[in-house]
Amino acid sequence: MRRFITSLSEQQIRHGYSLLALMEHLDRELETSGFNTWLMERRSA
């Protein structure tokens, strides 16, 4: 497998961290709302 080395700009790195923070926030919201539990119950039914 070939590896590609990419030079990221400071702005791209900031956007990446912002996206990670957003995903973590959404994950917490889904967990506290009970959505994850509901979804797992639906999948196992």
pLDDT in tens, 3-45: 777 788 999 999 999 999 999 999 999 999 999 899 999 988 7
Please give the structure tokens belonging to residue 35: 């959505």
- Which pLDDT score, from 0 to 100, does residue 8 have? 87
Helix-helix angle 10-33:35-44, to 10 degrees: 70
Query: Using CA of residue 27, residue 28, residue 33, residue 36, what is the dihedral sign?
Result: positive
Confidence at residue 14, expressed as pLDDT on a 0 to 100 scale: 95
Q: Which stretches of the chain are assigned E, i.e. beta strand?
A: none
pLDDT band at 1 (very low <50, low <70, confident <90, very high): low
Per-residue model confidence (pLDDT) at position 3: 74
Is residue 30 within 8 Å of 36, Cβ to Cβ?
yes
Identify residue 28 by its one-letter amino acid code: R
